[in-house]
Amino acid sequence: MPYPLKLLVLASLCIASFAKAQTEAPAFVQIPELTVAPDRADWTYKLGEPVTFTILLHAHGNVLDDVEVSYQVGPELYEGETRTATLRDGRFSFQAAPLSQPGFLRCNASVTLDGKSYSAKATAAFSPEQIRPTQSEPDDFDEYWDKQLETLKQIDLRPLKKPYPELNTPEVNAYKVRYQSWGKLDGEAPFYGVLTEPNKEGKFPAVLQVPGAGVRSYTGNMQLAEAGFIAFQIGIHSIPIDLEGDVYSNLRYAGLHNYWGYNLNDRDEYYFRRVFLGCVKALDILTTHPNWDGETLIVYGGSQGGFLSIVTSALDKRVTGLVANYPAYCDVTGTLHQRAGGWPKMFKYDRYRNEDMIATTAYYDGVNFAKRLTVPGSFAFGYNDTVCPPTSMYSAYNVITAPKDLTIQVDMGHTASEPFREQTFQRILKIAGKN
């Protein structure tokens, strides 16, 4: 082929390739967003009032039409049969039968697009301030716990405090702490935690931070220390807080799996007995701190920690206030009455449904401690929580006679957003009288 002709052919091929590249449409990624909402901004109704749920599906601000949606509606955790509908203009609305008893009505919705499932939920409250516990209260409840506290006084604290330089900052000093709690009189059940304190002279309020459920390491609460608190963050399983490798995950799924059910048939040997007493004993670490102001002592936590905040504050009169987020282990017997019971929902399982185990929970349920609170408390949770159902949390909140306030983020589940965490910090400051 003559050279000029070769150039002409090559040029034509290049032009064709360029034109093809220019005309190929870009690939767009579509990320659907499914939402559900009742027809009131606060998601709250009176008994018998109608509620309309609306399911919406859109992507990047545009509705997705003619999509089949599956949905369930019913009392929380008892939502019932699955139904289907077709989204028109990206939406489907329906009126649900209202509740005739105080509680929560939930709508779960899901769609499948391109092989992927998307889900959402919304939970309407019906006169939640009228919810009352199903849990019984033993006649000897106070006598029993007074006896445990009296015995606890015989345990020598024997604190061991070591610098934790890896966590230190110019504003905060950190320490690993080990102390004796429940066990025999010579102490065989140590607790571990991280103490953080302001790196400056002065007297400071104190906060005990009790943990959520699980098995993990701990690194202290730097934010509270920077704000001028002595903060003590503890674990509850009598294992050090700074182990390496996969020790915690191994314990979580083996040795400490479902620890909340250990010895549930015996109130004296039940796992949470040593936990409660270990939390009370942790207050000794704070009240013997040379820089404690001698006045302000707050207990704070979320989920299991919210529950332990209620318990510790009810058991020990040194506490001056508490901050409890989405508290667990409240009205766990709700499940026995066909309504949502609190975490860990043990009575969903037949193996826990015996008289001894049910009787034991009455000595440990958060509602019976909530009745005994005498100090100001700040509480917060969401209606969409499936781990700690709002019915169970209201069961505890509604029996509190001490000064209290409640913050509701209606669409929140069991995971706190960054704004919620900041709001919690502000609530701690308020309970401490620092804002």
Distance CA 147, CA 121 (A): 45
How far, CA to CA in Å, does 392 sit from each of 28, 333, 352? 44, 9, 19
CA atoms within 13 A on the CB side of 121: 24
- Where the chain has pLDDT below 50, the residues are 3, 5, 7-11, 13, 15, 185-186
Whole-angstrom Cα distance, residue 304 to residue 307? 5
Which amino acid would we find at residue 163?
P
Residue 329: its pLDDT value, please? Answer: 98
**DSSP summary character for residue 67:** E
What is the tens place of the pLDDT at every residue in 269-284? 999 999 999 999 999 9
Q: Is the dihedral of CA 399, 206, 176, 423 positive or negative?
A: positive
* 241 neighbors 247 (Cβ within 8 angstroms): no
Question: Do 368 and 382 touch, CB atoms closer than 8 A?
Answer: no
* CA 360 vs CA 212, 264, 266: distances in Å: 21, 6, 6
Q: What is the CATH number of domain 141-431?
A: 3.40.50.1820
Nearest Cα neighbor of 173 from 118, 225, 223, 136 is 225
Q: Which residues pair with 201 in a beta bridge?
A: none
Tell me how many degrees the CA angle 221-190-318 measures, rounded to the nearest 5: 60
- pLDDT score, position 189: 79
Cβ atoms of 158 and 187 closer than 8 Å: yes
Which residues in 114-263 belong to E strands, given as ranges? 116-126, 160-163, 172-180, 190-198, 204-209, 230-234
pLDDT of residue 172: 98
What pLDDT, on the 0 to 100 scale, is given for residue 124?
A: 98
Query: What are the pLDDT digits (tens) for 67-101?
Result: 999 999 999 999 999 999 999 999 999 999 999 99
pLDDT at residue 30 in the model: 74
Residue-range domain boundaries for the chain: 33-130, 141-431
| Tokens 């220019």, residue located | 22
* 71 three-class SS: strand
Joined tokens for residue 301:
């936590």
As a whole number of angstroms, the longest Cα–Cα distance in the chain is 109
* Token pair 């969903």 in the structure block, residue: 348
Q: What Rg do the C-alpha atoms of the chain give, in angstroms?
A: 27
The predicted structure's pLDDT at residue 23: 57
CATH topology for 33-130? Answer: Immunoglobulin-like (2.60.40)
pTM for the model stands at 0.92
Task: Give whole-number Cα distances, 323 to 276, 315, 379, in Å.
Answer: 17, 15, 6
Angle at 126 between CA 120 and CA 131, to 5 degrees: 115
* Pairwise CA distance, residues 104 & 122, whole Å: 10
